[in-house]
Structure 1
Amino acid sequence: MNLKNLKDLNILYVEDDKVVQDLFSTILSKVFAHVSIASDGKEGLDFFINNKYKYDFVVSDVKMPELDGLEMIEKIKEVDPSIPCILITAHGEFDYFMKANEIGVYRYIQKPLDINELFEAINDFQSGLEVKKIDL
């Protein structure tokens, strides 16, 4: 995997767990051009709509207060249906997979997050190697 392919991307990262947020925001900031950090789905949606950055990817946890990741992505897709979104969650219920597929989530990654898996998913998308819909 070539991380150089990722250095020009702007990422919106949404995670409510402060420890996880701090850890991964530090790592992501070393790889991507710009990383915006939101603490819940409402804040993430506000960032997406109001921020000066044109995001190339949205990476989000599912279970969050205010607005969960699925609801946030559904609203983001209403604004920009082409934005690739990756959901990260500890929850593997089939209903989440179905809803994620229905709203056009690109990839659904189980926690604990392997950062290389996230980088590979983004790199694969950038390289055009995979379709946007997740496989069930």
Structure 2
Amino acid sequence: MELARNSSSAVTILFVEDDHDTMEILQILMARKFPDVRIHQAENGELGVSLCRENVFDIVITDINLPGIDGICMAREIKSMKPDTKFIVLSGYNEKSYLNKLDDLGITDFMVKPIDTNILFKLIENRVKQVLRERYNPSLLIH
């Protein structure tokens, strides 16, 4: 898999999902909806962190419930390395404890499964627009 570096102007997404069927279907749909976005995959949190150490991803879409380290721990580690990374978090659970942990990390995009692709695509579209605004006007970065 060829991975994204800063040399490309394309917005890059890392999709972290342990359910192979969900990953494949959503990746196909996202690629059709966002043809100018580069989408990469990881099937667990450890691989997600590893890929983010070596590459620049503008947006990470992740499930919370992953084998090994969960999506929240993965997000915390990635945010500590690359605080400008945007996150969209998916979960089969709508528990307040998850929402509080995500809020502590500055992550506000959260969807409960089953995934409504219209809502997911709107979240992705909003984050892509944010990335492009920040990329071309760095004074907009908020830490």
**What code does the residue aligned with 1:72 have?**
M
Secondary structure, counterpart of 2:124 in structure 1: helix
Which runs of 5 or more structure 1 residues have no equivalent in the other structure? 1-7, 129-136
Identity in percent: 27
CA apart distance, 1:67: 0.9
Deviation per CA, 1:20-73, whole angstroms, max 9, x where unpaired?
11111111223242111000111111111113xx31110000001111000000
CA contact (8 A) 1:84 1:106 kept: no
* Number of positions where the alignment pairs a residue of Structure 1 with one of Structure 2: 120
Q: Which residue does 1:45 correspond to in 2?
A: 49
Match of 1:103 among 99, 102, 105: 105
TM-score (norm 2): 0.77
Cα RMSD after superposing both structures: 1.7
Which runs of 5 or more structure 2 residues have no equivalent in the other structure? 1-9, 131-143
Match of 2:30 among 6, 28, 31: 28
The runs of 4+ residues in structure 1 deviating greater than 6 Å are none
Change (3 A) 1:10 1:127: closer
Deviation per CA, 1:99-123, whole angstroms, max 9, x where unpaired?
0101111301111111221221122
CA contact (8 A) 1:107 1:121 kept: yes
* Aligned equivalents of 2:73, 2:90: Cα separation in 1: 14
TM-score (norm 1): 0.81
Match of 1:14 among 16, 37, 43: 16
**What code does the residue aligned with 1:108 have?**
F
Secondary structure, counterpart of 1:67 in structure 2: coil
Whether 1:84 and 2:86 are equivalent positions in the alignment is yes
**What code does the residue aligned with 1:24 have?**
L
